[in-house]
């Protein structure tokens, strides 16, 4: 980068660190208040504050090209969602990983804030954050598994031989590979997750762990579909408005920045479900918007309309991706139920996900 770009990058990182520390402060304050078991309405407000600030942190981190920090923050979202749903059971197990994640985020961002030349520490901070994310994932999985043991009576049997699970998953993978139908390879995802949660000295997998893995898949699809539907409509609206606005004005640039922000905030949800075609579309859209905003490329109204018109197909693709996931999850759940017996209840995971649009 040239000196002007260096100076701009330093200022962007400075502002990010300043905002991020404030978001973390608000999250920590809200979490502390939640521990005092406030009234239901207040608790709902506090969860909203926490999730909103995490989303802000994730989106802002993506904008300044600090994806590991954003991903670390977003790892807390499923835990918070489970915590909000599971208010009828003890939620003390959730607070440890939440504090761990927030402490990790705070320490990394404080280092960035105090660095004299912030661009020089970015690479090291990303590496540190990735290691912290691995440790946090272990804590999150353990917390959710323990909560599930409290939440529901232990299924019978409580565990199954890992070899049996792997055999079932490989069979499903083979069946899917032999067909020409669109597929998501969720069996491969579950296979990796099984090895991630299994104790190294054990040859079995807990039913609660399998239940958690399946719920994690469902939550990811639910979040992906909701975010895609909402944010794609916002981006489409912004692009449509650009066709009537004078180019290269403050209002025009503000709308481009708004669209870029929505793209950045949508990315993590799309990546989490590995929707490759939608990722590719978002990448192209991001490049288009960056060229317009920073390189002063002036697209025609016809070009902008053409881009905006693709969002109808994008939403249909998102719904289809979730439908494929539902079908594969149903097959996985049948495999687990066959191994663990009817006591392994995954009815929550098989409900249909349909966009409200």
Give tens-digit pLDDT for 65-103: 888 888 888 888 877 877 777 655 445 667 788 888 888
| Mean pLDDT value of segment 237-250 | 89
pLDDT at 311: 95
3-state secondary structure of 354: coil
Residue-range domain boundaries for the chain: 3-151, 219-321
Residues 241 and 231: their CA atoms lie apart, in Å, by 15
Whether residue 249 is predicted with pLDDT greater than 80 in this model: the reply is yes
CATH number of 219-321: 1.20.120.160
- Spell out the alpha helix ranges (H) of the chain: 3-34, 40-63, 67-74, 76-85, 92-114, 122-151, 162-177, 186-197, 207-242, 250-272, 276-294, 301-340
Residue-wise pLDDT for 7-54, tens only, equals 777 888 889 899 999 999 999 999 888 888 888 888 889 988 998 888
Alpha-carbon dihedral sign for residues 75, 209, 226, 304: positive
**pLDDT band, residue 146 (cuts 50/70/90):** low
Mean pLDDT across the chain: 83
- According to DSSP, the residues that pair with 160 across neighbouring strands are 205
CATH number assigned to the domain with residue range 3-151, chosen from the 4 options 3.60.21.10, 3.40.1410.10, 1.20.120.160, 3.30.499.10: 1.20.120.160
Share of the chain above pLDDT 90, in %: 32
| Mean pLDDT value of segment 335-341 | 84
pTM, to two decimals: 0.57
3-state secondary structure of 35: coil
Domains 3-151 and 219-321 share a fold: yes
3-state secondary structure of 70: helix
Mean pLDDT check: name the lowest of 58-72, 232-246, 260-274.
58-72
> Between these two residues, 149 and 124, which has the higher pLDDT value?
124
Whether residue 135 is predicted with pLDDT greater than 80 in this model: the reply is no
């Amino acid at each position: 980068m040239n000196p002007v770009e260096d100076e701009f990058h330093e200022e962007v990182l400075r502002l990010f660190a300043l905002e991020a520390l404030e978001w973390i402060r608000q999250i920590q304050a809200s979490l502390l208040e939640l521990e005092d078991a406030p009234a239901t309405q207040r608790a709902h407000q506090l969860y909203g504050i926490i999730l909103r600030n995490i989303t802000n942190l994730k989106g802002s981190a993506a904008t300044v090209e600090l994806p590991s920090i954003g991903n670390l923050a977003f790892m807390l979202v499923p835990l918070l969602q489970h915590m909000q749903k599971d208010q009828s059971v003890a939620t003390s197990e959730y607070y440890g990983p939440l504090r761990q994640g927030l402490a990790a985020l705070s320490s990394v961002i404080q280092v960035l804030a105090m660095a004299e030349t912030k661009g020089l520490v970015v690479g090291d901070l990303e590496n540190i954050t990735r290691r912290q994310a691995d440790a946090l994932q272990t804590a999150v999985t353990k917390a959710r598994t323990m909560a599930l043991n409290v939440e529901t009576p232990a299924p019978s049997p409580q565990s199954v031989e890992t070899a049996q699970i792997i055999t079932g998953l490989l069979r499903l993978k083979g069946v899917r590979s032999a067909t020409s139908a669109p597929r998501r390879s969720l069996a491969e995802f579950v296979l990796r997750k099984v090895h991630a949660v299994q104790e190294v000295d054990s040859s079995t997998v807990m039913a609660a762990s399998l239940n958690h893995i399946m719920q994690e898949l469902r939550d990811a699809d639910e979040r992906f579909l909701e975010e895609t539907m909402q944010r794609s409509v916002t981006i489409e609206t912004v692009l449509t408005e650009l066709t009537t606005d004078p180019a290269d004005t403050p209002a025009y640039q503000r709308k481009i920045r708004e669209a870029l922000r929505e793209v950045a905030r949508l990315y993590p949800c799309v990546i989490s479900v590995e929707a490759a075609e939608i990722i590719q579309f978002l990448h192209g859209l991001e490049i288009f918007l960056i060229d317009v905003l920073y390189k002063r490329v002036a697209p025609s109204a016809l070009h902008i309309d053409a881009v905006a018109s693709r969002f109808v197909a994008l939403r249909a693709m998102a719904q289809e991706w979730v439908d494929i996931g539902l079908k594969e999850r149903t097959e996985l759940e049948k495999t687990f139920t066959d191994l663990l017996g009817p006591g392994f209840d995954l009815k929550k995971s098989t409900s249909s996900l349909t966009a409200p649009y």
